[in-house]
């Protein structure tokens, strides 16, 4: 018997599988002679890795990147052997034990991590080299260390800090990554994130690592024609009411009705990642109508203007306007934040 799924949430995240698969194929094509992998850290940028990974695999993706070891544990059954890399690298003995037992590949970020991995017996790993971001990664000066020479490096990685801009930092990092590739034996060189793919062939190596653009983000305008929206947050209308001129809505009464109007309370609030920055800026979609969010967003609810959609009532659903580049401009949040904020209460 199927377990009782319990009450269904009044909040759902519609995920367009065709758009996700199409975005991966487009990024793979734009990667030229390189293959595209997929960054699926942070639960596939909030979509739900258990939903996203099978769709990406079906599209042809064979290489996946997570940040935490716990994220690798959650999806390892969904990913082909040798196709899963853990960006944070092995910090503890239990990380190393998990890597050895599961085949999830550590990304080695420091000499300490390299030695920890080798002492445990080692085996295939990736190596992240810092070329100027000063986040994770081995410094260039350490590339000649004997511990590095003993690593069995599959992916030789670096990460671009400013690929979404036409910055002089891009060619500087690219040149250092090439130097690292010449210094360390490896199988696949990998530098580009979503934006980096559009910087051209010199940035491609053998493997690219898009994340954001898979999920509908557009970090560089050149990507726009290739990328489709994937994620559509939807919420049910819990109640409707009429306001008279002068009535106010929500905490601190920041919206004052200019006249008689009909409003609806929807089950979407800041606890779901629909932050208070949407106050006075957010819109819900219903057919061709755009329904403004009125007053402050609360924890579990927002209030929207239903005056122009008299047919909509309690139990009907609306969709948040959430095309990522547009929503980022409207909210002041980054496209990455818009995705990864989406909370656990959404049915996925
Ligand atoms: C997150 C991440 C990516 C993906 O970056 P996007 O900008 O989302 O395409 C690639 N590589 C590394 C190391 C990352 O941490």
Under a CB-based contact definition with an 8 Å cutoff, are residues 23 and 214 in contact? yes
Mutate-to-test residue for ligand 1 from 40, 43, 65, 136, highest number of ligand atoms within 8 A of CB: 65
Q: Report the separation in Å between the CA atom of 184 and the middle of ligand 1, taken as the mean of its atom positions.
A: 22
Worst-scoring range by mean pLDDT, 7-11, 97-101, 308-312, 326-330? 7-11
Share of the chain above pLDDT 90, in %: 96
Question: What is the position in ligand 1's atom list of the atom closest to the CA of 336?
Answer: 8
The pLDDT of residue 1 is above 60: no
The pLDDT of residue 250 is above 90: yes
Q: Report the separation in Å between the CA atom of 185 and the middle of ligand 1, taken as the mean of its atom positions.
A: 23
Ligand 1 binding residues, C-beta < 6 A: 39, 41, 87, 159, 193-194, 209-212
What is the C-alpha to C-alpha distance for residues 262 and 68, in angstroms, rounded to an integer? 47
Please confirm, yes or no, whether 41 is among the known catalytic residues.
Answer: yes
CA atoms within 13 A on the CB side of 16: 18
Please confirm, yes or no, whether 215 is among the known catalytic residues.
Answer: no
What is the C-alpha to C-alpha distance for residues 101 and 109, in angstroms, rounded to an integer? 20
For the residues 108-115, what does the mean pLDDT come to? 98
Mutate-to-test residue for ligand 1 from 39, 132, 328, 337, highest number of ligand atoms within 8 A of CB: 39
Mutate-to-test residue for ligand 1 from 37, 87, 217, highest number of ligand atoms within 8 A of CB: 87
To the nearest 5 percent, what fractions of the chain are helix, strand and coil? 35, 25, 40
Q: Report the separation in Å between the CA atom of 231 and the middle of ligand 1, taken as the mean of its atom positions.
A: 19
| Helix (H) / strand (E) containing 39 | strand 38-39
For the residues 37-50, what does the mean pLDDT come to? 97
pLDDT grade for 9, boundaries at 50, 70 and 90: confident
Instruction: Select from 27, 11, 53, 12 the least CA-distant residue to 216.
Output: 27
Which tens digit of pLDDT belongs to each residue from 259-289? 999 999 999 999 999 999 999 999 999 999 9
pLDDT at residue 6, as a whole number? 81
Which tens digit of pLDDT belongs to each residue from 288-297? 999 999 999 9
């Amino acid at each position: 018997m199927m377990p009782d799924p319990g009450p269904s949430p009044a909040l759902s995240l519609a995920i367009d599988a065709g758009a996700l698969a199409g975005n991966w194929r487009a990024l793979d094509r734009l990667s030229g002679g390189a293959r595209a992998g997929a960054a699926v850290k942070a639960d596939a940028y909030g979509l739900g890795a258990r939903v996203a990974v099978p769709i990406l695999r079906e599209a042809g993706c064979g290489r996946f990147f997570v940040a935490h070891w716990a994220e690798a544990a959650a999806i390892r059954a969904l990913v082909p052997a040798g196709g899963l890399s853990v960006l944070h690298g092995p910090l503890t003995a239990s990380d190393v034990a998990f890597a050895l037992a599961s085949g999830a590949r550590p990304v080695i970020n420091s000499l300490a991590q390299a030695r920890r991995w080798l002492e445990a017996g080692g085996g295939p790993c990736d190596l992240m080299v810092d070329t100027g971001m000063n986040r994770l990664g081995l410094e260039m000066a350490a590339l000649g260390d004997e511990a590095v020479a003993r690593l069995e490096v599959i992916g030789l990685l670096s990460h671009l800090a400013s690929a979404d801009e036409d910055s002089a930092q891009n060619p500087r990092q690219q040149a250092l990554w090439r130097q690292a590739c010449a210094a360390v034996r490896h199988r696949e060189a990998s530098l580009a994130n979503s934006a980096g793919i559009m910087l051209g062939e010199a940035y491609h190596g053998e493997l690219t690592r898009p994340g954001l653009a898979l999920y509908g983000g557009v970090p560089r305008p050149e990507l726009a024609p290739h990328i489709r929206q994937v994620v559509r947050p939807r919420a049910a209308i819990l109640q409707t009411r009429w306001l008279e001129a002068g009535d106010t809505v929500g905490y601190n009464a920041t919206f004052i009705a200019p006249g008689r109007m009909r409003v609806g309370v929807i089950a979407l609030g800041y606890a779901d990642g629909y932050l208070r920055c949407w106050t006075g800026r957010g819109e819900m979609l219903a057919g061709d109508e755009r329904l403004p969010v009125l007053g402050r967003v609360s924890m579990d609810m927002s209030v929207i203007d239903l005056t122009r959609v008299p047919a909509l009532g309690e139990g009907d659903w609306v969709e948040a306007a959430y095309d990522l580049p547009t929503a980022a401009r409207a909210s002041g949040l980054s496209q990455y934040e818009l995705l990864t904020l989406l909370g656990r209460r959404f049915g996925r």
